[in-house]
Structure 1
Amino acid sequence: MRELELGLQLPSPLQDLHDDRLAGVRLFLKRDDLIHPEVTGNKWRKLKYLLADACASRASTLLTFGGAYSNHLRATAAVGRMCGFTTIGVVRGEEEPHNAMLDAAMSDGMQLHYMDRATYRRKADPEVIDALHRRFGDFYLVPEGGSTEFAVPGCRELVDEIEQPFDVIACPVGTGGTLAGIAAGLAPGQRALGVSVLKGAASLDDDVRSLQLDATGRVVGNWSIEHRFHCGGFARRSPELDEFLGDFDRRHGLRLDHVYVGKLMLAVFALISEGAFADGSRVVAVVTGRPPAGSG
């Protein structure tokens, strides 16, 4: 699958952000949200080598999981259409009126299957997977969020694209694949900072270690996860976050999504104000996606 043939814009741009709050820190935005209008940012990087493995396995159908507003479902449907796969999306919860995200996935040919929340929590159990095979036949299983050992080399390539010297690279963390890959690609003296978008997710540290070990056979210690900026939990928002997002949009003409990138940038500016980065530090913040159309 040649990236140019799929209409992907790689490498993604690196934007020098000018803001009077940076206090001696130089901040760059790695604009992965501009890679593709339907398969933005870390979604493509996490799926790239997984799709290659699916092709090598002669799979014709991809099955994956996500919530009703999942960018991952949307992206999997889009790459399925672009690369010739049938796609099935297992949606958490009972069927309800469609939203723009699910409508877009369906327009790309994805078949939706709703799963009650109790069963969805056990979606990795063999008996649940067996039941899905009985219903849908053979499929290539793509975990929720796409974080597998194949995500690590794809996300590692993000680092290789950055020609500007930097000290720290920061990204939001939901399942850990992007952080695991970025950290694996850093040079000595560089470090990666993940910002958890989940509440009470101390297990994310173990998830990142496991992904690195599965993909590379080793765990590197050049990364950490900041757990203070979840704003109440996944997809939750707080008055502080909303105020920050509005101000950022007014200053820079860039609307950030509140689920991932907004919390990342809230954390980066808070850490700058706390003096967490030495004067003169060069920090790259990865814009892993964009807000869905029509979202506030």
Structure 2
Amino acid sequence: MTPPGAAPSPVVELEDDRIAAHGVRLFLKRDDLVHPDLPGNKWRKLRHNIAPARERGTLLTFGGAYSNHIRAAAAAGRLYGFATIGVIRGEEHLPLNDSLAHAQGMGMRLDYLDRAAYRRKHEPDVVAMLRERWGDFYLLPEGGSNARAVRGCAELGAELRGFDVVCCPCGTGGTLAGLAAGLAPGQRALGFAVLRGGFMDGEVERLQREAYGTRRGAWSVEHGFHFGGYARRTAALDAFADGFADRHGLVLERVYVAKMMAGIYALAARGRFPRGTRVAAVVTGPAGASDTGLSGPSGTVAPGKRASLP
């Protein structure tokens, strides 16, 4: 199953002397180009959740007021013919912001939970209340990370054979859990946590056990590049992302992707990648709306060569 109009995302080599000076070759897996409404890991997480959503007729999921996951779930419902309900953290604010207006325009019905109830969103009494309000539905966790999402992201790993290290940003852990499971022996997955707290390792392992019954693949999480926590940014992160855009013509999404890329450059400078290492970085989403309303101009790509796997 492929979203209408989608093509396999390209892998391009990034030519940057700041990386080359450390003997590292860096490639970008442009998953942000998969589909305008279902970019990157959003499509991979949703892919195997579409069939059960269609069987139930309705998908209900959760997100913040600027959630790209909410937008993607609404688009999937429109494209594949099932109803969608988005349960939003916090109170309703009118007029709707661009993200929620887009989701509603795709046919999604919106509901709201105060922050105390939202923290308990997967507890049986809250789910029962939602079923009483909305009827039967297929429940998809916040961020789309469940066992089916992990298996979808494993297909991403299978597309990236031939690299030594494959990197991705981590918000809920589903992308890293699947990516690592899909890589070949000898490859390593490296996740960059965008939240503080050091809990991501446990979430990744929990999701792998939910999907496969055991831990899979060689993987680890870097916790030192959250730049203050989820959706927070610093002058250093902004300077890195602005400099990257100036050099390469690509505007990095700053909640997730810019933090991963800054981490890769920093680890290369520290000698964490042996000379000759081939690193692939998964660009999971485009610059634009995010869970916090941070936005930047749409990313464009400077002319470059599509890489054949090394």
Deviations 1:36-95 (A, max 9, x none): 00110000000111112333xx21111000001100000000001000011110010111
SS across alignment from 2:169: strand
Are positions 1:81 and 2:78 aligned together? yes
Give the TM-score normalised by the residue count of structure 2. Answer: 0.91
Residue type matched to 2:237 in 1? L
Give the TM-score normalised by the residue count of structure 1. Answer: 0.95
Are positions 1:28 and 2:54 aligned together? no
Q: Answer whether contact 1:89 1:110 (CA < 8 A) is retained.
A: yes
Matched with 2:122 is 124
* Inter-partner Cα distance in structure 2 for 1:220 and 1:102: 36
Q: Superposition pairs for residues 16-95 of structure 1, below 5 Å?
A: 16-22=13-19, 23-55=22-54, 58-95=55-92
Residue type matched to 1:24 in 2? G
Q: Answer whether contact 1:62 1:86 (CA < 8 A) is retained.
A: yes
1:221, distance to aligned residue in structure 2 (A): 5.2
Matched with 1:137 is 135
* Inter-partner Cα distance in structure 2 for 1:131 and 1:60: 19
Are positions 1:222 and 2:221 aligned together? no
1:162, distance to aligned residue in structure 2 (A): 2.9
Residue type matched to 2:228 in 1? G
* Inter-partner Cα distance in structure 2 for 1:45 and 1:54: 15
Please provide the CA RMSD for this pair.
1.3
Q: Superposition pairs for residues 221-240 of structure 1, below 5 Å?
A: 222-240=218-236
Are positions 1:108 and 2:86 aligned together? no
Q: Answer whether contact 1:101 1:292 (CA < 8 A) is retained.
A: no
Are positions 1:178 and 2:187 aligned together? no
* Inter-partner Cα distance in structure 1 for 2:150 and 2:121: 22
Contiguous gaps of at least 5 residues in structure 1: none
Q: Which stretch of the first structure deviates more once superposed, 90-99 or 134-143?
A: 90-99
1:96, distance to aligned residue in structure 2 (A): 1.6
Matched with 1:268 is 264
Give the one of 204, 210, 222 matched to 2:206.
Answer: 210
Contiguous gaps of at least 5 residues in structure 2: 297-310
Identity of aligned residues (%): 58
| Count, aligned residues | 289
Deviations 1:117-154 (A, max 9, x none): 01100101100000001111111101000100001221
Q: Answer whether contact 1:25 1:280 (CA < 8 A) is retained.
A: yes
Matched with 2:299 is none
Q: Answer whether contact 1:150 1:215 (CA < 8 A) is retained.
A: yes
Give the one of 254, 261, 271 matched to 1:258.
Answer: 254
Give the one of 7, 11, 14 matched to 1:14.
Answer: 11
Which runs of structure 1 show a deviation greater than 4 angstroms over 4 or more consecutive aligned residues?
none
* Inter-partner Cα distance in structure 1 for 2:9 and 2:217: 27
Q: Answer whether contact 2:53 2:82 (CA < 8 A) is retained.
A: no
